[in-house]
Chain A
Amino acid sequence: MTAVAEAPSKIGEVPSFTVTLRVLRHLPADDGELAERWDEFQVQAHGTDRVLDALHQVKWEQDGSLTFRRSCAHGVCGSDAMRINGRNRLACKTLLKDLDPSKPITVEPIKGLPVIKDLVVDMEPFFASYREIMPFLITTGNEPTRERLQSAEQRERFDDTTKCILCAACTSSCPVFWTDGQYFGPAAIVNAHRFIFDSRDEGGAQRLEILNDKEGVWRCRTTFNCTEACPRGIQVTKAIQEVKRAMITRAF
């Protein structure tokens, strides 16, 4: 299928084009097993349309059984991470026109987590790893009356990792995570980093102990898939390296 850009008939009209979506379906059969197959859909798209718009068009006009998660539709809620043309991205942040719409666009669920249906995976194992690294501020002593003080530089130290939306695009792009799903994964480490390098936090040593586990940071092979996959632009691999370094030097 080739994309045909129609000439705008009047000024200001956005040109429309046809794209083909190839979606890896996982449909629950009567025996409870999932039947896997590829389905192709053709949709009419406009210049500002995202992959999510195309999926909605299929669901709302062609096949209501096509199932995926979504909510905010502008890249902040983290619901719609999926594998688009072989790369993990958010469907709501990926514009069709940026994907070479002359070729079919493939859409698959993210890898390494059990599929429930179509593009929906079971997120529980992902959140379980997140919970294990104690993702909350740990302090000792008396609470101050006003706010705890923190300089702009101290705040900047962990700014990058506060942006995480827990979409699992990084973790499910990691070949180490794919092998057996036991590795904590980049997202959990990113969230550990967010607290380890927060000047107000006193739980760094505990978190490093947790991540020193055989399924912890040392399984990272620095392939940078996670950094490439992050829809928030977090330097994920760098954050993992900083946690590794903190583990050796105990300086954070």
Chain B
Amino acid sequence: MQTHQYDVVIVGAGGAGMRAALESSTRVRTAVISKLYPTRSHTGAAQGGMCAALANVEEDNWEWHTFDTVKGGDYLVDQDAAEVMAKEAIDAVLDLEKMGLPFNRTPEGKIDQRRFGGHTRNHGEAAVRRSCYAADRTGHMILQTLYQQCVKNEVEFYNEFYVLDLLVDHDLAAGHVPEGEEVNVSGVVAYELATGEIHVFQAKSVVIATGGAGKIFKTTSNAHTLTGDGMALAYRRGIPLEDMEFFQFHPTGLAGLGILLSEAARGEGGILRNADGERFMERYAPTIKDLAPRDIVARSMANEVREGRGAGPNKDYVLLDLTHLEPAHIDAKLPDITEFARTYLGIEPYTEPVPVYPTAHYAMGGIPTNIEGEVLRNSNDVIRGLYAAGEVACVSVHGSNRLGTNSLLDINVFGKRAGISAAHYAVGASFVDLPESPAVDVVAELEQIRVRPDGERVADLRKALQETMDANAQVFRTRESLQQALADIKALHKRFRAVSVQDKSKTFNTDLLEAVELGFLLDIAETVVVGALNRDESRGGHFREDFPKRDDENYMRHTMAYRRPLPAKGGRQWQSGADGDHDGAFAYTEVFDDYQLVLGSKPVTVTRYQPMERKY
């Protein structure tokens, strides 16, 4: 075992992690720990762009962007955070340009901008050109540019290191810590993939930037490695997860494969059609049609298929039609996604429409933070020294549905903020003592899995989880479907205790790490399903067929999911008024074998915009 000491440790080297590192590493001694080489991170798969009201091509301002973000999120957005993001978007884009990002240009040589779903002029009048982009590989350019800057600044990386545990001085999942009491982070435990060696990192500040958890679903645009690691590590230590029931299904995944085709395809004029060739979005969103927010488009597509108007031999997808666009225009603006259609489906988008269907894409929820990136352990108290940014976090700028391009914006604005906050905190703080034998428990669990001679196969359990999530917790949900998913997850938790791997070596044992990741996925899935089960309303990405209307009176609050000990194991019976606002519509507890999942809520910050009916 090796021990390291850094002022700031950043977990994850995607957009948010590297943006944080660029701020932190120039101020204090910083390490970035990543389970992948930084340039493999999934930020690189983002395509369409990053919105900012630069007004380079038409009139625009940050207030319109804020409004669109709030309305797009179906009013569950914290409006102070959305305002920060929309204001700082402009500098975030300019920062990237100055770092060398090769944006597409206007004839005057300025950064070009294009239309994107839900981004409008003057509070919904018409689509506005707000997305700054580099063809359909904007995420790739952001990831490369941030990595280039990290090389320039000699940022210290620990590549292919898996973080197994988050170290805090009070384990909130083990017992009650009263509101207001100080809780501090002290570091992380990591596993070096190449050698199997354990490394303990002691740090004054830790920034979690591990991205999303799309692999809880079968059909997803997410990478194999997006297994919710950071969220699960926090949850296991009793840190709440916020709004986990809100998962975005991107309308245009390649049918059957889930590979993402950017909304930019529609921003550039692409049209969705059903089997009859009808432009069906005219019926669902008469004003902005195909450029309605993703939740609305995804549901409309699923509805077309359900009602028998799907295309293809099994009528199980709809068509993305680009055939009316000039091939030269497609090549200039959408080269990668058209290549995906050719490579994977053998479809020529110049002349044939592309089969598409919604694909699990983005977790709106995550680890709750304030606008400085500090992690909250309930509605009010922060954990000192702990920060989170990007998809793993919930600020909440996305509410119940994220607008396209706002994720690349989120990682840049809040990655930067978290990096600065973490460094500032580290300057004034001292190291918190590590727990005695900080790695013993996680190493024991890991060894159990590694040496267990025979047992359940990781791939079988993962497949069963993904199938139940696709069948029961996807675009359309009901109480019954969610109860089925929950029962399946509980059964899988039991089977997971007998999981074993075939690779017994200590060298680059990805078999073992897939088992660890499966454990994370099960934890995340339970928070998604329990949150969805309790939310008897439909809002943004969460649609309950048995409760198809939004219910502001009971549910205009953020869900908080807390892992707590069972009463028999020193926990307590939860009651109204306990920490986390465990009351009203959120007085819900779900008992698992070794712990209970206690829901609570957190108020939504409303500043300028009162909730209105959401029409496009």
Check if A and B associate.
yes
CA distance A20 to B416 in the complex (A): 49
Q: Is B505 an interface residue (CB 8 A)?
A: yes
CA distance A163 to B138 in the complex (A): 11
Q: How many residues of A contact B (CB 8 A)?
A: 59
Contact (A165, B502) CB under 8 Å given A79-B36, A146-B94, A158-B102: no
Chain A residues with Cβ below 8 Å from B591 are none
Binds B, one of A37-45, A131-139, A208-216: A131-139
CA distance A147 to B134 in the complex (A): 15
Asked if B105 and A136 sit within 8 Å, CB to CB, the answer is: no
Chain B residues with Cβ below 8 Å from A150 are 105, 109
Q: Is B573 an interface residue (CB 8 A)?
A: no
Contact (A71, B100) CB under 8 Å given A64-B501, A116-B194, A117-B507: no
Binds B, one of A55-63, A178-186, A222-230: A55-63
Asked if B151 and A12 sit within 8 Å, CB to CB, the answer is: no
Asked if A147 and B94 sit within 8 Å, CB to CB, the answer is: yes
CA distance A11 to B312 in the complex (A): 10
Which residues of B222-268 have CB atoms within 8 Å of chain A's CB atoms? Answer: 223-225, 256-257, 259-260
Q: Is B44 an interface residue (CB 8 A)?
A: yes
Chain A residues with Cβ below 8 Å from B93 are 147
With beta carbons under 8 angstroms apart, the residue of A69, A77, A148, A195 that contacts B45 is: A77
Chain B residues with Cβ below 8 Å from A23 are none
CA distance A155 to B111 in the complex (A): 11
Asked if A60 and B457 sit within 8 Å, CB to CB, the answer is: yes
Binds A, one of B337-345, B371-379, B549-557: B337-345
Closest chain A residue to B510 by CB distance? A67
Asked if A64 and B508 sit within 8 Å, CB to CB, the answer is: no
What does the 1/0 interface line of B498-510 toward A look like (CB < 8 Å)? 0001111101111
Q: Is B572 an interface residue (CB 8 A)?
A: no
Instruction: Give the Cβ gap from A74 to chain B, nearest Cβ, in Å.
Output: 5
Asked if B340 and A116 sit within 8 Å, CB to CB, the answer is: no
Asked if A73 and B94 sit within 8 Å, CB to CB, the answer is: no
Instruction: Give the Cβ gap from B262 to chain A, nearest Cβ, in Å.
Output: 12
Asked if B44 and A152 sit within 8 Å, CB to CB, the answer is: no
Instruction: Give the Cβ gap from A93 to chain B, nearest Cβ, in Å.
Output: 6
Q: Is A162 an interface residue (CB 8 A)?
A: yes
Closest chain A residue to B41 by CB distance? A77
With beta carbons under 8 angstroms apart, the residue of A71, A95, A116, A200 that contacts B343 is: A95
Closest chain B residue to A144 by CB distance? B98
Instruction: Give the Cβ gap from A175 to chain B, nearest Cβ, in Å.
Output: 25
What does the 1/0 interface line of A178-207 toward B look like (CB < 8 Å)? 000000000000000001001011000000
Instruction: Give the Cβ gap from B60 to chain A, nearest Cβ, in Å.
Output: 15
With beta carbons under 8 angstroms apart, the residue of A48, A116, A147, A166 that contacts B97 is: A147
CA distance A130 to B140 in the complex (A): 17
What does the 1/0 interface line of B134-177 toward A look like (CB < 8 Å)? 10010011001000110110000000000000000000000000
Closest chain A residue to B506 by CB distance? A28
What does the 1/0 interface line of A10-33 toward B look like (CB < 8 Å)? 011000000000000001100000
Asked if B151 and A137 sit within 8 Å, CB to CB, the answer is: no
With beta carbons under 8 angstroms apart, the residue of B152, B259, B345, B505 that contacts A65 is: B505
Asked if A75 and B224 sit within 8 Å, CB to CB, the answer is: no
Contact (A76, B314) CB under 8 Å given A136-B100, A152-B107, A162-B141: no
CA distance A130 to B134 in the complex (A): 23
Asked if A77 and B223 sit within 8 Å, CB to CB, the answer is: yes
Chain B residues with Cβ below 8 Å from A95 are 343-344
Q: Is A251 an interface residue (CB 8 A)?
A: no
Asked if A116 and B508 sit within 8 Å, CB to CB, the answer is: yes
Asked if A155 and B104 sit within 8 Å, CB to CB, the answer is: yes
The winner among B103, B504, B510 for most chain A CB atoms within 10 A is B510
CA distance A129 to B452 in the complex (A): 42
CA distance A69 to B37 in the complex (A): 10
CA distance A154 to B407 in the complex (A): 29
Q: Is B459 an interface residue (CB 8 A)?
A: yes
Q: Is B99 an interface residue (CB 8 A)?
A: yes
Which residues of A165-182 have CB atoms within 8 Å of chain B's CB atoms? Answer: 165-166
Q: Is A151 an interface residue (CB 8 A)?
A: yes
CA distance A137 to B152 in the complex (A): 9
Q: Is B39 an interface residue (CB 8 A)?
A: yes
With beta carbons under 8 angstroms apart, the residue of B109, B223, B507 that contacts A151 is: B109
What does the 1/0 interface line of B259-295 toward A look like (CB < 8 Å)? 1100000000000000000000000000000000000
With beta carbons under 8 angstroms apart, the residue of A12, A70, A127, A201 that contacts B100 is: A201
Asked if B505 and A28 sit within 8 Å, CB to CB, the answer is: yes
Closest chain A residue to B336 by CB distance? A76
Q: Is B110 an interface residue (CB 8 A)?
A: yes
Chain B residues with Cβ below 8 Å from A123 are 37
Chain A residues with Cβ below 8 Å from B459 are 59-61
Contact (A147, B111) CB under 8 Å given A63-B502, A71-B224, A152-B105: yes
Closest chain A residue to B106 by CB distance? A152
Asked if B45 and A64 sit within 8 Å, CB to CB, the answer is: no
Q: Is A6 an interface residue (CB 8 A)?
A: no
Instruction: Give the Cβ gap from A100 to chain B, nearest Cβ, in Å.
Output: 17
CA distance A155 to B105 in the complex (A): 8
Q: Is A120 an interface residue (CB 8 A)?
A: yes
Instruction: Give the Cβ gap from B221 to chain A, nearest Cβ, in Å.
Output: 9
Closest chain B residue to A147 by CB distance? B97
Instruction: Give the Cβ gap from B457 to chain A, nearest Cβ, in Å.
Output: 7
Chain A residues with Cβ below 8 Å from B44 are 72, 76-77, 165
With beta carbons under 8 angstroms apart, the residue of B40, B99, B134, B345 that contacts A78 is: B40
Chain B residues with Cβ below 8 Å from A164 are 144
Asked if A143 and B511 sit within 8 Å, CB to CB, the answer is: no
Asked if A67 and B508 sit within 8 Å, CB to CB, the answer is: yes
CA distance A191 to B578 in the complex (A): 56
Q: Is A159 an interface residue (CB 8 A)?
A: yes
Asked if B97 and A148 sit within 8 Å, CB to CB, the answer is: yes
What does the 1/0 interface line of A89-107 toward B look like (CB < 8 Å)? 0000101000000000000
Asked if A48 and B42 sit within 8 Å, CB to CB, the answer is: no
CA distance A77 to B111 in the complex (A): 25
CA distance A131 to B41 in the complex (A): 18
With beta carbons under 8 angstroms apart, the residue of A59, A73, A149 that contacts B109 is: A149
Instruction: Give the Cβ gap from B260 to chain A, nearest Cβ, in Å.
Output: 8
CA distance A163 to B152 in the complex (A): 20
Asked if A71 and B312 sit within 8 Å, CB to CB, the answer is: no
The winner among A136, A149, A158 for most chain B CB atoms within 10 A is A136
Chain B residues with Cβ below 8 Å from A12 are 312-314
Contact (A136, B343) CB under 8 Å given A61-B459, A116-B507: no
Contact (A137, B100) CB under 8 Å given A60-B459, A117-B507, A131-B151: yes
Asked if B256 and A48 sit within 8 Å, CB to CB, the answer is: yes
With beta carbons under 8 angstroms apart, the residue of A59, A78, A198 that contacts B102 is: A198
Chain B residues with Cβ below 8 Å from A76 are 44-45, 137, 140, 336
Contact (A200, B223) CB under 8 Å given A28-B507, A116-B508: no
Supplied contacts A79-B37, A159-B102, 4 more A-B pairs, CB within 8 Å: A71-B40, A74-B340, A79-B40, A162-B134
Q: List 8 A-B contacts (CB under 8 A).
A: A70-B224, A71-B40, A77-B41, A78-B40, A130-B151, A146-B110, A147-B97, A150-B105
| In the A-B complex, the 9 residue pairs with the closest CB atoms | A137-B100, A12-B313, A64-B502, A60-B459, A149-B109, A65-B503, A64-B511, A136-B148, A136-B152
